[in-house]
Amino acid sequence: MKSALPWYALLLPLVSAGAITLFTRRLKTLSSLISVAAVLGSFVCSCLIFGQKGLSAPELKWIDFGTVFTVPFGFVLDDLSRMMLVLVSGIGALIHIYSLGYMRDDEGKSRYFAALSLFMFAMLGIVLANNFVMLFIFWELVAFTSYVLIGHWFERDAAADAANKAFFTNRIGDFGFMLGILLVWMSTRSVVFADIAPRLSILTSHPAFLTIAALLIFCGAVGKSAQFPLHVWLPDAMEGPTPISALIHAATMVAAGVYMLVRVGFIIQASPSALLVIAWIGTISALLAALIATQQSDIKRILAYSTISQLGYMMIAVGLASNEAAIFHLFTHAFFKALLFLGAGSIIIMLRHEQNIWKMGGLARHLPITFLTFVVGALALIGFPLFSGFFSKDTILALAYDHNMPIFVVALFTAFLTAFYILRLVVVVFFAKPRSDAARASDESPLVMTGPLIVLALLAWLGGYGFFARHFLAIPHEKELLLIVPVLAITAMILGAGLAIALYRNRTSEPIEVDLLRRLFYIDEFYRWLLDWTQELLASISAFFDRWIIDAGAVRGVSGGTWGIGALLRLIQMGNLQAYAFLFGLGIVALIYFAVFR
Amino acid sequence: MVTLGHYLIVSGILFAIGFAGVMLRRSLIIIFMSLELMLNAANLSLVAFSRFHVQPSGVPDYNAQVFVFFIITVGAAEVAVGLAIIVALFRARQTTHVEDINTLKF
């Protein structure tokens, strides 16, 4: 059945972004309402699309060079993309509404909402794209809009730097992604997913080529999903407004990487070595980020590292060739991480932009709704039984248990760390006594902010249940459920949580300091050193080239040569009339000699 | 018997004397006279060619003689202009020696 609904879902946010930029720049309230209306419209369309299986949308011919290179502007509307559509627009809608409260008095409100709409457009584009080129363009658009949004408060240097960092880091990954796309196109002569699938045998007949292509495509996901070693941008991206952190971290930007890998899973799964690399990158990211998160003191940074860690879990699932497990965790993570971020945002704004957890404390009484919903999010995150994270994380752990024991052990340890760092956060922020005036004077957030929190809390709690989730995805059926995996996972979780509570109860400052973790494994320092070093080297090579080849060789060489020849020729001009006459005569003799005797 | 060769030798000697004068003498007037000598050397060879290039009808080749007239005319004009320049030069520099006229230098 053909329907224009996907077009509406995609284009409504774009229209909103255009309208705000062109017409309602000065009318801030109207701008925000337009944006919210657009995303709600998009959400309704998405729900309608979700309700109709076998829907297809009219396709546009876009770029057409015959058999060499054809790019349609078309949509893919399978179960996966329909589910993502609802998820993205749904979480997006909640965050738009929440932003109404959070950004109420912001100077650049119009700009903020225009960028937010554009971001939704780009993100929905990624979800709907049915070919690599479209996907890549929307992919870049997401990078751009996230740049704008992270740098929303660009008057602050830290925000501007963070926006740059996010953009550049993404560019590094995207470069690999582009090369990967080109490789796939080179061999299969197609960029449309549906056309590549039947021609996959061309790729599989060259395993090395396929592995390189798959890993290059994975590069894009490493950048976008903030995996090691390109994870550095995500914590810094916390400089943006908190709703943006929630949006980028929860359902959309970082999830785009995982979604893309699942979308092209058929290519990646054809290469076992690429899968292994992906699984290990995911494992390393999960462990590294969880370790770092245990020592951070900025509430949003803790959550940011938690996001990297959870994305690591999804990468493990992708690497173990289980798209369903990856998407399942993406799905539950979207809810609980959006919830945690918006909860953090609620705290931050009520404490007048205080983000240091050691300046909070005792907030359970002051912000009861935020507290309860935050706890729900935390429980879902650590995989507390009967909360959504439990189901999805268990699926991944069971998968690892089945396929790769070392990864399972690391993932289990990461689960322990996860419980530790989030309980640390909860204990320090919500219990004991307030440790600053702002914390003592804080009050509950308005309904536009708590409303989305409550909705998300319900989703974070229920999102993992089979009856709920199976409507949305094909969850890997729990074949002969291994009891040992959940038992181990719950043990790890209880250990971590207990340790955190025992360590941090009634503390007013950090009891243990691990410099290596506080300084983020010196990765930023390493990059700085690497950049400085390579830059220095490059600069000195360029300087040498400029000074000695361009300046000394080309410029001074030409001028000096001309001058020298001139000086030589000048010697002939001695000013003696008779000498001139003599030379003249000599010339004539030479002429005659050549004309007559040769 | 005087042949064409004799005339040409005389003409060449005259030309060489003229050229040597131009090269070696210092006075502009003398150089000028040497120039005229070179012109006349050319005239002599042309006239000799005319005299010895007799057509079957017994008439000498007048083309060369026409050339000679041209050269004489040009020479006369040259004398007029050249002497005027020398006079002007003398007025400006109080000298007609080529060593003193060396401003055509870098």
CATH of the domain at B56: 1.10.287.3510
pLDDT digits over A342-367, tens only? 888 888 887 777 778 777 777 777 78
- For residue A253, pLDDT over 90 is answered with no
A573, A578, A585 member nearest B105 (Cβ): A573
Inside any domain, residue B78: yes
Please give, rounded to a whole number of angstroms, the shortest distance from the CA of B31 to a CA of chain A: 10
- For residue A479, pLDDT over 60 is answered with no
Which positions in chain B touch A575 (Cβ < 8 Å)? 102-106
Taking an 8 Å cut-off on Cβ atoms, the answer to whether A573 and B98 are in contact is no
The share of chain B scoring above pLDDT 70, in percent, equals: 97
Looking at residues A80-94, what average pLDDT do you find?
85
The reply to whether the predicted model has a pTM over 0.90 is no
Task: Name the residue of chain B whose CA is nearest to A568's CA.
Answer: B106
Residue B34's pLDDT band (boundaries 50, 70, 90)? very high
Task: Name the residue of chain A whose CA is nearest to B16's CA.
Answer: A585
A207 to each of A178, A182, A210, A221, A322, how far by Cα in Å? 20, 17, 5, 21, 21
Q: For A369, phi and psi rounded to 5 degrees?
A: -70, -45
Inside any domain, residue B41: yes
Tell the residue number behind the tokens 């070595």, with chain if given.
A273
Taking an 8 Å cut-off on Cβ atoms, the answer to whether B104 and A577 are in contact is yes
Inside any domain, residue B89: yes
- For residue A514, pLDDT over 80 is answered with no
Inside any domain, residue B40: yes
Task: Name the residue of chain A whose CA is nearest to B100's CA.
Answer: A576
Average pLDDT in chain A? 83
Taking an 8 Å cut-off on Cβ atoms, the answer to whether B22 and A581 are in contact is yes
Please give, rounded to a whole number of angstroms, the shortest distance from the CA of B39 to a CA of chain A: 14
Maximum distance among all Cα pairs of chain A, rounded to whole angstroms: 118
Instruction: Indicate the number of domains in chain B.
Output: 1
Radius of gyration of chain B (CA): 18
Taking an 8 Å cut-off on Cβ atoms, the answer to whether B104 and A575 are in contact is yes
Structure confidence at residue A541 (pLDDT):
92
Structure confidence at residue A552 (pLDDT):
86
Whether B101 contacts chain A with CB within 8 A: yes
pLDDT digits over A423-452, tens only? 888 888 888 777 777 667 666 777 777 787
B23, B31, B102 member nearest A575 (Cβ): B102
- For residue A471, pLDDT over 70 is answered with no
Parent domain of B28 = 4-100
CB pairs under 8 A between A and B: 28
Inside any domain, residue B82: yes
- For residue A473, pLDDT over 60 is answered with no
pLDDT digits over B47-71, tens only? 999 888 888 888 888 888 899 999 9
Q: Which residues contact B37 (CB under 8 A, 6 or more apart)?
A: B14, B15, B17, B18, B21
Task: Name the residue of chain A whose CA is nearest to B24's CA.
Answer: A578
A570, A580, A581 member nearest B106 (Cβ): A570
Inside any domain, residue B105: no
Q: What b/e string do you get for A323-344 counting C-beta neighbours within 10 Å, with b at 16 or more?
A: bbbbbbbbbbbbbbbbbbbbbb
Structure confidence at residue A480 (pLDDT):
52
- Picking from A175-184, A269-278, A343-352, which range would have the lowest pLDDT averaged per residue? A343-352
pLDDT digits over B70-105, tens only? 999 999 999 999 999 999 988 988 888 888 877 766
pLDDT digits over A148-172, tens only? 888 888 888 888 888 888 888 888 8
Inside any domain, residue B92: yes
- A139 and A177 Cβ atoms separated by less than 8 Å: yes
Measured CA to CA, the distance from residue A208 to residue A434 in angstroms comes to 59
Taking an 8 Å cut-off on Cβ atoms, the answer to whether B23 and A573 are in contact is no
Inside any domain, residue B25: yes
Looking at residues A470-477, what average pLDDT do you find?
53
Structure confidence at residue A594 (pLDDT):
93
Which 42-71 residues of chain B touch chain A by CB within 8 A? none
